[in-house]
Chains A and B, each alone.
Chain A
Amino acid sequence: MDTYFYAFLFCGFICMIGQLILDNTKLTPGHVTSLFVVIGAALDLAGIYDKIVLYAGAGALVPITSFGHLLIHGAMTAVSDNGVMGLSLGIFDLTSAGISIAVVCAFFLALFFKPRH
């Protein structure tokens, strides 16, 4: 039950920070999402993101910060097996599913749907 609460809190909080940045600066959504990815990577490096995932469950996996976390996580796991080369070898281990599904969905949907608005 706790996890639901922290999931709500964390995801809501990250989204809110994003909105505040968009409303108060000239940064675009592209800037904000890139910033968050880097922050997610940094937090994982410090071992903090894993703890957040423990408390907030999927609520920590859904924001784009998680993308950074998964990139680092995969890379660091491979580093412990393969040394420095692990950075290159493992970087997409955990994110390959997300990226590839997004690409494939986008492509096939684009073939069948026109922009309407």
Chain B
Amino acid sequence: MTKKFNNVYVADTYTIASIYEKNGPISNYFDLIYNKDFYYGTDTFEKAEEKMLSNSISKLINKVKLVDSDIDYVIAGDLENQIAASNYAMRDFNIPFLGIFSACATFAEGIYIGANFIEGKGCKRVIVSTSSHNMVAERQFRNPTEYGALKKKTTTLTSTGAASILLTSTKSNIKITSATAGIVQDKGISDVNNMGAVMAIAAADTIKRHLNDLHINADYYDLILTGDLGVYGKEILIEYLKESGIDISLNYDDCGLILYDRKKQPVYAGASGPCSSALVLCSYILNEMKQGKYKKVLVVPTGAIFSATRLFQKSSIPSIAHAIALEAI
């Protein structure tokens, strides 16, 4: 289902990134970089992720000179079990909270829901947030992938950081024009080291339905972005869509390849994690849109929504992708 929006705008964003992101190509675009270590001033990685997420929300509220009571909802999620980073971070705020989860597509899911709330005149301001932390993800999913575990060429590296975006009914120069909710896909792949292959199908399905529903072609957009398909997932998506008569080879890129520089950093196939798409969108892409480089952008983050337990029980990995269309006005 593709929903069109008439009065949903992006007021502002706040991004926090870490060491690997600082060494990447868009480090100048982040609001805050903490590159001392992975603890962010706390004593565990999990607490670090919570604090980054909490800070991204509080600093965003500060940035737009508002207070907690001005915000109608925070919609947030992360990669931790029970979305712990989000749940614990929201203790710091007096704002109604809706926790969501779709792995690395969480940010888009949040924007989809928040935009619908605002369009339906249910509220005026919604903050959507997400975070990820390399060490937390490694530790949690370490069951299928081990400690000094050998990474493959197709492995993508979970990024570390947090991003928050303020959606509002007040007009601004970035408008959310439409969004498409994803349908769960599963092609029977169970290789956690090849998430690009697992998730490309979800991006393909959502993009197809989005273009179909709006009766437009891929070239309607100046830029189409996926969240973290990595270099091989990107190739798979381009070829698979070509077979359906959709050509995105000229206006498509992957956030995981923008966030990290594969040639200079030891990042295998690219960046992954919920904040891969969120950091790139909120810092670099929105900036470029305001500068006039891109007018119409379609962001399609994908998520591998599996559980380690089910993986051990020989289930494959399902994926989902939510699409958000933005326009600079």
Please indicate whether A and B come from the same complex rather than being unrelated chains.
yes
A116 touches B37 (CB 8 A): yes
Majority SS at the chain B contact face: loop
The answer to whether A98 has its CB under 8 Å from any CB of chain B is: no
> Which residues of A lie under 8 Å from residue B37 when comparing CB positions?
116
Q: Within the complex, which residue of A30, A115, A116, A117 is in contact with B146, where a contact is CB–CB below 8 Å?
A: A30
> Which residues of A lie under 8 Å from residue B149 when comparing CB positions?
28-29
The answer to whether A22 has its CB under 8 Å from any CB of chain B is: yes
> Which residues of B lie under 8 Å from residue A28 when comparing CB positions?
144, 146, 149
> Which residues of A lie under 8 Å from residue B191 when comparing CB positions?
26
Known A-B contacts A116-B37, A117-B38; A22 and B135 likewise in contact (beta carbons under 8 Å): no
Interface residues in A79-115 (C-beta closer than 8 Å to B): 115
Bin chain A's interface residue count: under 10
> Which residues of A lie under 8 Å from residue B134 when comparing CB positions?
117
> Which residues of B lie under 8 Å from residue A22 when comparing CB positions?
150
Nearest-CB distance from A35 to chain B (Å)? 16
> Which residues of A lie under 8 Å from residue B146 when comparing CB positions?
28-30
B135 touches A115 (CB 8 A): yes
Q: How far is the CA of A29 from the CA of B146 in the complex (A)?
A: 8
Q: How far is the CA of A116 from the CA of B146 in the complex (A)?
A: 16
Nearest-CB distance from B188 to chain A (Å)? 14
Q: How far is the CA of A22 from the CA of B37 in the complex (A)?
A: 32
Q: How far is the CA of A30 from the CA of B38 in the complex (A)?
A: 28
Q: How far is the CA of A30 from the CA of B146 in the complex (A)?
A: 9
Q: How far is the CA of A94 from the CA of B73 in the complex (A)?
A: 63
Q: How far is the CA of A104 from the CA of B207 in the complex (A)?
A: 55
Contact with A along B150-165 (1 / 0, CB 8 A): 1000000000000000
> Which residues of B lie under 8 Å from residue A29 when comparing CB positions?
146, 149-150
Q: How far is the CA of A22 from the CA of B152 in the complex (A)?
A: 11
> Which residues of A lie under 8 Å from residue B45 when comparing CB positions?
115
Nearest-CB distance from A25 to chain B (Å)? 12
A117 touches B135 (CB 8 A): yes
Nearest-CB distance from A26 to chain B (Å)? 8
Contact with A along B165-204 (1 / 0, CB 8 A): 0000000000000000000000000010000000000000
> Which residues of B lie under 8 Å from residue A26 when comparing CB positions?
191
- Nearest to B152 among chain A residues (CB) is A23
Contact with A along B29-52 (1 / 0, CB 8 A): 000000001100000010000000
- Nearest to B139 among chain A residues (CB) is A115
Q: How far is the CA of A117 from the CA of B135 in the complex (A)?
A: 8
Q: How far is the CA of A10 from the CA of B38 in the complex (A)?
A: 41
Q: How far is the CA of A26 from the CA of B191 in the complex (A)?
A: 9
Contact with B along A25-39 (1 / 0, CB 8 A): 010111000000000
Task: Give chain A's interface residues, CB within 8 Å of chain B.
Answer: 22, 26, 28-30, 115-117
Some 16 contacts from A to B, beta carbons below 8 A apart, are A22-B150, A26-B191, A28-B144, A28-B146, A28-B149, A29-B146, A29-B149, A29-B150, A30-B146, A115-B45, A115-B135, A116-B37, A116-B38, A117-B38, A117-B134, A117-B135
